[in-house]
Amino acid sequence: MGAAISSDMIGDHLERLRERRPLVHNITNFVVMNWTANVLLALGASPAMVHAPEEVEEFTAISAALVVNIGTLDHSWVASMSLAARKAVATGIPWVLDPVGAGATALRTRTTLDLLALAPNVLRGNAGEIMAVAGAAGHMPKGVDATVASAHAVDSARNLGRASSAVIAVTGAVDYVIGADRGIALAGGSPMSQLVTGTGCAATACVGAFLGIERDALLATVSALAVLKAAAAMAAPLAQGPGSFQTALLDALHRVSPDDLARHVAIEAV
Amino acid sequence: MGAAISSDMIGDHLERLRERRPLVHNITNFVVMNWTANVLLALGASPAMVHAPEEVEEFTAISAALVVNIGTLDHSWVASMSLAARKAVATGIPWVLDPVGAGATALRTRTTLDLLALAPNVLRGNAGEIMAVAGAAGHMPKGVDATVASAHAVDSARNLGRASSAVIAVTGAVDYVIGADRGIALAGGSPMSQLVTGTGCAATACVGAFLGIERDALLATVSALAVLKAAAAMAAPLAQGPGSFQTALLDALHRVSPDDLARHVAIEAV
Amino acid sequence: MGAAISSDMIGDHLERLRERRPLVHNITNFVVMNWTANVLLALGASPAMVHAPEEVEEFTAISAALVVNIGTLDHSWVASMSLAARKAVATGIPWVLDPVGAGATALRTRTTLDLLALAPNVLRGNAGEIMAVAGAAGHMPKGVDATVASAHAVDSARNLGRASSAVIAVTGAVDYVIGADRGIALAGGSPMSQLVTGTGCAATACVGAFLGIERDALLATVSALAVLKAAAAMAAPLAQGPGSFQTALLDALHRVSPDDLARHVAIEAV
């Protein structure tokens, strides 16, 4: 059922990421561009945000991974996302899709399905988004934050994983990473993450960074989510509220160690 | 002359907001999207930024309130703002307009007048913007920050309020909220707010959040501005400069209590 | 060879800037808009982000300086950049160009050359960008961050300065400011600056602010870079990581004094 997943393996991924500083091409939303870039820098990756149709393919081709996030989509951005995704697949560059707000509007659901057909290596969303994409329910997420416990979306994730070739990640208080032949649950982190905008988007960006140094998409995804959960757990006791939590989270991402991973994140098969 | 305004009433509004977590649809500027989303989350609301013409009406219709901010407008965004505002009015969803930079360019003044004709429940600006919109003077604000004391714009606000159906809020060292039959002044806060970009935009977003749980637009506006003033007063003594003030402001927004409101904000009729 | 450059001169510039609060018109990228605005406010300038083609010329004409940054360019933004730059030159308003990612894609290199032909007063980039623009090498920068020591780009900067009328600034661990008849090196700052997105963009914005109060472009550029280096040196010992460094940098920018400049930055002719 694949390689054993331990904090040592994740620590090795993290060390490799910090050494290689993978260039991560982000086509993402206006709300989180600065935050995502700072998360990727704190983690040890090299972020770039590039969206013009004239250059996205050229830029994807020199990147280690591509992140596509539909948070503030419009038709011209969707065209660029599609160009970049096709280029990524054609050149063997891994990519991850974040279907922000899927289910909330027809445009978001349709765009997600269109992009999912371009074979992302990973799809990461909250429970409401994953359930909406899977068509598991007529479920309508409230805004773009998770209001359904991630566990409720595991069946949707399995169905979606079988119908596509993507690893499906459902994040929340517990994160689930569902691959073709195995599933992993990660517990830990902090409920304060819900008080900062773009922690889900940051998770997707970190998945992109780990895809840039590890081609097993399930392992890369588990590593990314484990590092974020550890950093959140380290940041929470230092925070007086959502503002200082955000600051402490960036600080913690920069210093997460294999020991921290072992201490703060519980990983098990599901 | 309407309900009594006390810190208890504002505290009740705040409690209701934190319970209901109103979904606030923002069509706002690139500079403050992240900041505004974090302010709304810290306050207890559920923010979403959605601007594509294909989906704004659909999204407005599922939201508790709409925030329109013209800070980095261009023609395609103005079209979306107009679509969303019309939908809000048609479906009884309250909305607030922030005329960033009105008076600085012809496009901003004209766009503000066009949107004002779509009957926002509240118009919030700094003194220069409100005076420009009221045509009270050929006054040209310096950049997009307030350089005129808010008191100078009260007459403009009264004129503007009479000509439109909107509650007019002029924010500054003292905030004025001018309704059809009453006016309220709020004193308190911190001058450090001027050192952080988007504190005015954050005020508008908070007005949107309170409109989502309280249909009396004047009371909702007073509550929003009072909570921000209290949070700023709580944050200032913890800050070493504008960076740490911004962080402390988000922390304070998350923990403002009715006692804090009574302690830090002075409210009187004008 | 021009006026002596001392921390006293830079302190005088800084005092003048804080008194006059120059309005700085930014056409910049989505990633750094909030950060850049907060940097300019902390420094003492008055930032505005305005990009619609219908209003950029009008806004440039009322500004003290213009900042053009191609970080998240697309064709419509490039058109606005060009309109604003032409207006700046026609009306004697100084402007600075930041060629983010020049060399990484054909669009970026071509756009930079097109804008450079519109005679910016200053061009500021990292070593890879300046070398790419100078055609000094087929060098391809990794992402948009500096991966080549700034000293390697000094010859490119001299060539570029001779071919254009612009002062060329190459920033890095050591900053180089190359004018027609003199060159200045600035040492100091902190390596933590590389862990925060947009510190280069912030440098460009600060150059714009100083151009708004000092027409000698080389002196204005040296002042801007010196103030940032001093603030970074002051912030680093207060930081536990990139998040708290970012916060401390804004705090420090707001309180930098002439003494701090003398203490933290070494300036010499090159």
How would DSSP label each residue in C70-112? -TT--HHHHHHHHHHHHHHHHHT--EEEE-TTBTTBHHHHHHH
Question: Would you place residue B2 in the very low, low, confident or very high pLDDT band (cuts 50, 70, 90)?
Answer: low
Q: Do A197 and B38 touch (CB under 8 A)?
A: yes
Strand pairing of B122-125 and B265-269?
A: unpaired
Q: Quick check: B196 and B252 in contact, CB under 8 A?
A: no
Average pLDDT over residues B228-247: 98
Least confident window among A257-266, B135-144, C196-205:
B135-144
Taking CA atoms, A80 is separated from A69, A76, B121, C105, in Å, by 11, 7, 37, 15
Strand-strand pairing, B174-178 and B167-170:
antiparallel
* Sheet of C122-125, strand order: C46-49, C23-27, C65-69, C95-98, C122-125, C167-170, C174-178, C183-188, C265-269
Q: What number is the ipTM of this complex?
A: 0.95
- Name the pairing type of β-strands A265-269 and A183-188: antiparallel
Note the pLDDT of residue C137: 40
For range A72-92, the mean pLDDT: 97
Across residues C127-150, what is the average pLDDT? 69
Question: Strand B95-98 and strand C122-125: pairing?
Answer: unpaired
Confidence of residue B34 (pLDDT cuts 50, 70, 90): very high
Q: Test A195 with B41 for CB contact under 8 angstroms.
A: yes
pLDDT in tens, A219-266: 999 999 999 999 999 999 999 999 999 999 999 999 999 999 999 999
CB contact under 8 A, B74 and C53: yes
A/B interface, count of CB pairs below 8 Å: 97
Residue B62 CA to residue B57 CA, distance in Å, equals 9
Angle between helices A33-43 and B33-43 (to 10 degrees): 90
Residue type, A61: A
Size of interface B-C (CB pairs under 8 A): 96
Has residue A130 got a pLDDT over 80? yes
Q: Tell me, what's the pLDDT at C156?
A: 92
What tokens were used for B82?
């107009």
For residue A53, give how far its alpha carbon lies from the nearest alpha carbon of chain B (Å): 18
Looking at residue A139, its pLDDT comes to 43
Helices A199-211 and A217-235, axial angle in degrees (round to 10): 140
Residue C218 has pLDDT above 60, yes or no: yes
Distance between CA atoms of residues C103 and A105, nearest Å: 39
Query: Which residues are CB-neighbours of C76 under 8 A, at least 6 positions away?
Result: B74, C53
Lowest mean pLDDT among B117-121, B132-136, C192-196: B132-136
Nearest-CA residue of chain C relative to B242? Answer: C251
pLDDT at C198: 98
Burial class (CB in 10 A: 0-12, 13-18, 19+), B113: middle
Is residue A267 within 8 Å of residue A185, measured between CB atoms? yes
DSSP string, C6-64: -HHHHHHHHHHHHHH--EEEEE--TTTHHHHHHHHHHHT-EEEE---TTTHHHHHHTSS
The residues that bridge with C123 in the sheet, in sequence order, are C97, C168
pLDDT digits (tens, 9 = 90+) for C28-63: 999 999 999 999 999 999 999 999 999 999 999 999
Question: Is residue A63 over pLDDT 80?
Answer: yes
The sheet carrying B265-269 orders its strands as B46-49, B23-27, B65-69, B95-98, B122-125, B167-170, B174-178, B183-188, B265-269
**Which pLDDT belongs to residue B4?**
75
CA distance B150 to B173: 7
Please state the rounded mean pLDDT for residues B29-40: 98
- Cβ-defined contact of B198 to C37 (cutoff 8 Å): yes
Q: Do C255 and B241 touch (CB under 8 A)?
A: yes
CA distances (Å), origin A205, targets A53, B148, C15: 21, 43, 41
Q: Taking all residues of chain C, what is their mean pLDDT, rounded to a whole number?
A: 94
How much is the average pLDDT of A21-32? 98
Rounded mean pLDDT, B150-165: 90
Residue C148: per-residue pLDDT = 77
Distance from CA of B99 to the nearest CA of C (A): 14
Q: What is the pTM of this model?
A: 0.96
How many angstroms separate the Cα of A34 from the Cα of each of A41, A172, C34, C102?
A: 11, 22, 8, 20
Q: Do the beta carbons of residue B128 and residue B148 sit within 8 Å?
A: yes
CA angle centred on A177, ends A138 and B37, rounded to 5°: 65
Beta carbons of C132 and C106 less than 8 angstroms apart: no
**Predicted confidence (pLDDT) at residue B172 exceeds the cutoff of 70:** yes
- Residues B131-159, mean pLDDT to the nearest whole number: 73
Q: Averaged over C114-139, what is the pLDDT? A: 87
Q: d(Cα C12, Cα C239) in Å, to the nearest integer?
A: 28
C163 falls in which pLDDT band (50, 70, 90)?
confident
More confident residue, A164 or B179: B179
Confidence tier at C2 by pLDDT (50, 70, 90): low
Residue C195: its chain A contacts at CB < 8 A? 41-42, 254
Q: Which residues contact C28 (CB under 8 A, 6 or more apart)?
A: C36, C49, C67, C68, C69, C71, C98, C201, C205
pLDDT for res A2:
63
Residue of C33, C62, C250 with shortest CB distance to B31: C33
Position C151 scores a pLDDT of: 87
**Per the CB < 8 Å rule, is B244 touching C255?**
no
Retrieve residue C177's tokens: 């400011």
Band of residue C164 on the pLDDT scale cut at 50, 70, 90? confident
What Å distances lie between residue A201 and A27, A123, A124, A176, B171, CA to CA? 11, 12, 9, 16, 33
Whose tokens are 């689930």? That residue is A176
Closest in B48, B50, B254 to A195, CB measured = B254
Which domains does chain A carry? Answer: 7-269 (3.40.1190.20)
Selected residue of C32, C36, C107, C148 to mutate for chain A interface (largest A Cβ count, 10 A): C107
The total number of residues written for chain A in this structure: 270
Count Cα neighbours of A144 within 13 Å in the Cβ-side half-sphere.
Answer: 31
User: Across residues C219-238, what is the average pLDDT?
Assistant: 98
- What pLDDT, on the 0 to 100 scale, is given for residue B91? 98
Q: pLDDT tens digits, residue range A147-205?
A: 678 888 999 999 999 888 899 999 999 999 999 989 999 999 999 999 999 999 999 99
Q: Is the model's pLDDT at C138 over the cut of 80? A: no
| Alpha helices for B51-185 (secondary structure H) | 56-61, 75-91, 106-116, 127-134, 154-163
The greatest distance separating any two alpha carbons of chain A, rounded to the nearest whole angstrom, comes to: 47
Least confident of B78-87, C82-91, C156-165: C156-165
- CB pair distance less than 8 Å for A247 and B248: no
The tokens describing B191, both together, are 């001058």
CA distances from B265 to A19, A153, B229, B234 (A): 52, 45, 7, 11
Q: Which chains share 3+ C-beta pairs under 8 angstroms with C?
A: A, B
Q: What angle do CA B25, B30, B36 make, to 5 degrees?
A: 50
pLDDT value for A146: 52
Average pLDDT value for residue range A196-217 = 98
